[in-house]
A = this chain, B = another copy of it.
Amino acid sequence: MKTQPLKGMRDLLPHEQALRDHIQAEILATYRAAGFQRISTPILEDLENLDKSDGGDNLNLIFKVLKRGDKLTSALQSGDATKLADMGLRYDLTLPLSRYYAANRASLPTPFKVIQTDRVYRAERPQKGRLREFVQCDIDILGDSSPNAEVELIDVTARALLRIGFTGFTVNINDRRILRAMLETMGFAADTLDSVCISFDKLDKIGADGVRDELTEKELPANAVASLYDFLQGGDFSLEAVASRCGDASLADDLRYVLSASEKVANGRYGIAYCPSLVRGQGYYTGMVFEIVCPQFSGAVAGGGRYDNMVGKFIGQQVPAVGFSIGFERVCGILLEQGYAIPGAKPRLALLYLPDADFADVLAKAERLRAGYDVTVLPQAKKLGKQFGTLEAAGYQAAAFADNDDIRQLGQKK
């Protein structure tokens, strides 16, 4: 039998899990203090829901669950490979939340300020070194069309990162509506804009030439591609420069508001920046998009945006919605590298007992010691000095004994 976890998935050692539990508790405490409420949804979703969810490239990365029993038999007999699966592992927490809101909205407040922190799955190629199972920490506001919702999500997410010791980060913000207006003015057809945006989002990675080449490959109109390439090479990426190419300068009002209010809220604790090339990969974003970048990591540590049409796909009635997701794996990876120490944990004590001890008495003594320590009961080794060394290496601060009242502090000689 194979001892390693599946490719792209991870076993977490105790010290990694302890860090993650602490970080998650700190993030949750920030979210809860801001009046957000946690929910959860199943990891599996109906496969048709996932397929229709505007998830962009992620739709190609869905792990599908084989049908069972008679349904599998008929699917096999039909010879149609697309009918073999009926459920899929979610690739993010936004589609499940939209379905959840549609199903449960009668029991939920308006606006609904919601927390999700849970596992998601993407069948990335293992050689890319990307995880196939990872945790996202999301907050979303449903039922509020005001740009104050964006300002609040940015504030709360940034405070969560500050609380766990992140500093020096910047929140990049854009509005897809402005970008789309500019692109339409340049001559791209409305039904090609999603595709143009997905290429444009790669500006940081592939440069202006790469964007032009990718758009040309997609057989988009040459004059429009040339016009965008000209803009990209021009170098003035200010909001006013972009707004002036939109036809309607008032389109930038919401973004101007979010930038200036967020700047005031940030009050110098972190950066707020307009980023005209920002699109974020998901196809479902309809307006504002944002991400958090920090010097310690090359990609974004958080990303989000407004997705006003997603709930409507379920109930035929538009519900404004906006969300911000912390990439939990990235954040924990950075903190582990930095040697983050969990504050305020109780000291760990090993209560050692000899073979002739009354084990019920040992457990009772352990329970009394738990007022001041996390107490593990362990058989006492013959070579006590060696056992102290092993305990110290394993992170114990003290040892006590079932048969006397000594408490030995470990590691004091160092």
On A, residues with C-beta under 8 Å from B are 1-6, 9-14, 17-18, 21, 28, 32-46, 48-49, 52, 63-66, 68, 72, 76, 81, 84-85, 87, 89, 99-100, 102-104, 107-109, 111, 113-114, 119, 123, 133, 146, 148, 151-152, 155, 159, 261, 264-265, 313-315, 346, 348, 350, 359-360, 363-364, 366-367, 370, 374-379, 390, 394
Q: Can you give 25 contacting A-B residue pairs, CB < 8 Å?
A: A1-B46, A1-B49, A1-B313, A3-B99, A3-B314, A4-B103, A6-B46, A10-B42, A11-B100, A13-B108, A14-B38, A34-B376, A35-B348, A42-B133, A43-B119, A44-B63, A44-B133, A63-B65, A63-B87, A72-B81, A109-B394, A146-B379, A148-B359, A152-B359, A265-B364
Stoichiometry, copies per complex:
2
Say whether, besides A18-B38, A315-B3, A133 and B43 are in contact (CB < 8 Å): yes
B360 touches A151 (CB 8 A): yes
From the candidates B66, B109, B148, B359, name the one contacting A64 in the complex (CB within 8 A). Answer: B66
A10 cross-chain contacts in B, Cβ below 8 A: 42
The smallest beta-carbon distance between A400 and chain B, in angstroms, is: 12
* Given A5-B103, A64-B65, 8 extra CB contacts under 8 A: A1-B48, A2-B46, A2-B99, A14-B114, A34-B375, A109-B390, A151-B359, A151-B363
The smallest beta-carbon distance between A166 and chain B, in angstroms, is: 18
Residue of B nearest to A379 (CB): B146
A11 touches B104 (CB 8 A): yes
B123 touches A68 (CB 8 A): yes
Residue of B nearest to A66 (CB): B64
A33 touches B99 (CB 8 A): no
Residue of B nearest to A62 (CB): B68
Q: How far is the CA of A322 from the CA of B411 in the complex (A)?
A: 32
A41 touches B5 (CB 8 A): yes
Residue of B nearest to A37 (CB): B14
